[in-house]
Amino acid sequence: MGKQAEYKGYTIESSPRPETNWEKWRLHIFISVQHPRGIQTREFDSDVLYATEQEADVHGITFGQRVIDGKVVGLTVWDMKSQDRRTTPRFKVQFRTTFSASPKLDATGAILDLSAGGCRVESSAPLTPGMPLELRIFAPGLEWPLMVEAATVQWVSGGTFGLAFFRIAEAERERLERVIEGLTDNTA
């Protein structure tokens, strides 16, 4: 089949695969986006099987939209649009933060550096790589804390850890960009 759809600047292409053992179809998609270094593509599939190729095709597009929206645990495209994280400017800061993870972690820390795609935090909280967190950043000049709906722990070293921002509302992303612009102005 091969349905294709544009969604939030990404291209979702459905390419269902036959599962001959069960005479069913497995949802399989490609998500692509234009990047400064060319088109970036990532493939995703699901364990759910469908009776027909058409059914898997339709559900593939919806599945792609959910991945793009950050609603499928463990699957992400947030980093496909951004520049290589090593070239994303990081700014040394000293911002207070609170973060939580369901069901029982509520902790505080200090953000030591910040970029559009993540941050480094100092805290005594017991964290492990891959752990999802909700984060609030108390940056100077903001009336209320900046809210990152989902961030993932990338690494832990002693009392510090790195976070990649996974899901952040558009209004909050704009606030983050303003904070970073203020940091850029202060270093120029």
Whether 131 shows a pLDDT value over 50: the answer reads: yes
Q: CA-based angle 116:11:130, to the nearest 5?
A: 45
CATH assignment of the domain containing 126:
2.40.10.220
| pLDDT of amino acid 188 | 52
Residue 86 resides in a domain: no
Say which residue the tokens 């759809």 belong to: 5
pTM for the predicted model, two decimal places: 0.55
Judgement on whether residues 183 and 113 belong to the same structural domain of the protein: yes
Is 50 found in the same domain as 117? no
pLDDT computed for residue 37 by the predictor: 61
pLDDT in tens, 38-93: 677 888 888 889 999 999 988 999 999 988 888 887 777 876 765 444 456 788 88
Give the model's confidence band at 123: pLDDT under 50 very low, under 70 low, under 90 confident, else very high: very high
Residues 183, 104 share a domain: yes
Q: Nearest 5°: CA angle at 28, between 26 and 33? A: 170
Cβ of 3: how many Cβ atoms within 10 Å?
17
Indicate if the pLDDT at residue 36 is higher than 70.
Answer: no
Q: Do 170 and 105 share a structural domain?
A: yes
